[in-house]
Amino acid sequence: MQSIKQFELNFTVLKATAIVGFFTLLSRLVGLIRDRLFASHFGAGDTLDIYYAAFRIPDLVFNLLILGTLSVAFIPIFTELLISDKDKAYRTANSVLNFSFLLMSAVCLGLIIFARPLAHLLVPGFEGQKFNDTVILTRVLLLSPIIFTASNIFSSILNSQKKFIIANVAPIMYNVGIIFGLLVLYPKFGLYGLGWGVILGALLHLLVQIPEAVHFGYYWQGVLDLKDPAIKKMLKLFLPRILGVDNSQVSLLIGSVVGSVLVSGSIAVFNLANNLQAVPLGVFAISTAVAVFPLLSEFYSKRNENEFAKSLGQAISQILFFMIPFTVLLLLFRAHIVRLAFGSGKFNWDNTILTFNTLGMFSLSLFAQGLSPLLARAFYARQDTKTPVIISLCTMAINALLTYLLGKQYGAPGMAAGFSLSAIFNAIVLYFIMHHRLAKSSSQEAMDNFNKTIFDSSTKIIISSFFMGLAGYGALYMLAPYVDTHTVIGLLIQSGLAFIAASAVFYGVGKFLKLSQLDNLFGKKSPSQTLS
């Protein structure tokens, strides 16, 4: 514990991003192992369709009430209270924890009772035992939002104090529980053993965070003070946000509805491809958004608009630095990635083709998916939840329409294309509205620096990524006659050497263009934003 405390003592945005990104990478790697085991055991067929469809209602209610709502309302208010009165901050946190836990328990109990009619709406194409299994597994998984509600409060408490390590170990433990369910519980209890593995993972997600929160001052109190001004302030931020369901959740929900009437395995393919593209998003984009959120909240609470704009501009550039090259890499290596990640056991060649085509459609919006969580948090840090909610509702409508139309026409790749188009719309609108707000509240010099940072970086990143793509494609083409791509070793050699060539060209062109993020990445410049 002492080493963790020492490591986090001198906080910077870059360090925080590195901490969150490192543990997110570990979690995603464990998640890929999880997905490979599932794909190998079941292939893209009925079992995985049932498994992923059963997550939709539990995930939706958790994202609707907690992950995308309560947490973003909680952190700015809790951060303000920590600055002025730590005891008051923890009393408020306990009121939020107790109320949200009771509320989620009541909601999930109601959903368990009405799981069957809800499943008819969710998977209209499922029939017979496939439908019945989806209902039962949904009821089991509805226990997880109750556990995650408490766990999310602890994550928010730790993140507010810039204690990122344990909060980001928790998702790793969640995946460990799911893998345990597959390898140990499934052989004994069948499909429902998979569900109890998820519940075990959720419990591990919660339990691993409690000692860390206690170490830094948290203690539980049986309080439920809904008249607390801070609670009222959170509710004011929370209630509008409840309508702003994350676009990816809407896409997964629609994917289940449309996928249920398509060929067996369509829901599984859609989810597996989404999980693959989520790796760079989680490691580089979400980690940046999570790390910079407390900083933006603090700058806004101190009314330091110029530093707010500076930090946001740097974070946008940092996300684009990773997301634009990863878009090119995913398009280039999508077949290799899918074959290496899932190409074993019952996951056949048809499954592979469908999955890498779907992954390609997802990758087109990677930059937008990366920017949207950051831009939304910029609004939340300014205690404005209404604006991103309105934009989110418009995005949801576009997403639903395009995912349905393109999904019916082109299957899983069409559903991914519909999601990508709506994600790009969401990011563009969020950016321009935030830019307008900053222009009114920041100095002209701060806005000039904001625009210059983003424009200069984006131009250099796009040019570097273009030449990187040419190098990667050329390397794949030249290596093809010399390796056996029907084997894992051959795939690794071809994709590995091509990736090295592409990365070297990106680095070389970036250095020639004096791309500043390269120097920051390799530690040649000090991070410019430091909290003390």
Tens-digit pLDDT profile for residues 214-226: 887 888 888 787 7
The residue type found at 431 is Y
Higher pLDDT, 457 or 297: 457
Where residue 72 falls among pLDDT bands split at 50, 70, 90?
low
Tokens of 256: 């289940």
Q: For position 346, what pLDDT does the model report?
A: 85
Region 102-109: mean pLDDT is 93
- Of 141-155, 284-298, 362-376, 436-450, the range with the lowest mean pLDDT is 284-298
Q: Quote the distance between the C-alpha of residue 186 and its chain's center.
A: 27
Q: Facing residues of 12 across strands?
A: 530
Where residue 194 falls among pLDDT bands split at 50, 70, 90?
very high
Q: For position 523, what pLDDT does the model report?
A: 56
The residue type found at 380 is Y
Residue with tokens 């010099």: 445
Q: For position 320, what pLDDT does the model report?
A: 95
**How many residues are listed for the chain in this entry?**
532
Residue 15: CA atoms inside 13 Å, Cβ hemisphere, count?
18
**Measured CA angle at 356 (ends 194, 277), to 5 deg:** 65
The residue type found at 204 is L
Q: For position 241, what pLDDT does the model report?
A: 55
Asked whether the predicted pLDDT for residue 1 surpasses 60, the reply is: no
- Enter the DSSP assignment of 530: B
Percentage of the residues of the chain whose pLDDT score is greater than 70: 90
Alpha-carbon distance of 170 to 175, in angstroms, equals 9
Where residue 531 falls among pLDDT bands split at 50, 70, 90?
very low
Percentage of the residues of the chain whose pLDDT score is greater than 90: 48
Is the CB of residue 506 less than 8 Å from the CB of residue 325? yes
Region 440-445: mean pLDDT is 90
Asked whether the predicted pLDDT for residue 305 surpasses 80, the reply is: yes
Alpha-carbon dihedral sign for residues 177, 173, 242, 435:
negative
Where residue 476 falls among pLDDT bands split at 50, 70, 90?
very high
Which residues make Cβ contacts (< 8 Å) with residue 488, sequence separation at least 6?
Answer: 340
Q: Is 451 exposed, middle or buried (0-12, 13-18, 19+ CB in 10 A)?
A: middle
79-88 long-range contacts, CB within 8 A, separation 24+: 79/160, 79/294, 79/297, 79/298, 79/301, 80/297, 80/301, 81/230, 82/160, 82/161, 83/301, 86/217, 88/230
- Enter the DSSP assignment of 527: -
Region 59-76: mean pLDDT is 72
**Torsion (CA) 297, 161, 225, 88 in degrees, nearest 10:** -100
Where residue 461 falls among pLDDT bands split at 50, 70, 90?
very high
Tens-digit pLDDT profile for residues 378-417: 998 888 878 888 898 899 889 889 988 999 889 999 999 9
Q: For position 529, what pLDDT does the model report?
A: 40
Region 118-142: mean pLDDT is 94
Asked whether the predicted pLDDT for residue 204 surpasses 90, the reply is: yes
Region 161-178: mean pLDDT is 84
Q: For position 226, what pLDDT does the model report?
A: 76
Q: For position 7, what pLDDT does the model report?
A: 39
Domain spans of the chain, in order of start? 11-242, 246-522
Q: For position 69, what pLDDT does the model report?
A: 57
Tens-digit pLDDT profile for residues 318-345: 999 999 999 999 999 999 999 988 877 7
Region 40-51: mean pLDDT is 91
Which residues make Cβ contacts (< 8 Å) with residue 388, sequence separation at least 6?
Answer: 241, 244, 375, 376, 379, 380, 430
Higher pLDDT, 142 or 380: 142
- Enter the DSSP assignment of 97: H
Q: Show the DSSP H helices in 114-228 as ranges.
A: 115-122, 128-141, 144-160, 165-180, 186-189, 191-207, 210-215
Tens-digit pLDDT profile for residues 241-263: 555 556 677 778 888 888 888 88
Where residue 112 falls among pLDDT bands split at 50, 70, 90?
very high
- What is the DSSP track for 285-347? IIHHHHHHHHHHHHHHHTT-HHHHHHHHHHHHHHHHHHHHHHHHHHHHHHHHHHHHHH-STT-
pTM reported for the whole predicted model: 0.80
Region 266-291: mean pLDDT is 87
Q: Facing residues of 530 across strands?
A: 12
Q: For position 14, what pLDDT does the model report?
A: 59
Is the CB of residue 117 less than 8 Å from the CB of residue 35? no
**Candidate ranges 20-24, 284-288, 342-346, 475-479; pick with highest mean pLDDT:** 475-479
Q: What is the mean pLDDT of the chain?
A: 86
Is the CB of residue 308 less than 8 Å from the CB of residue 296? yes
Region 186-192: mean pLDDT is 92
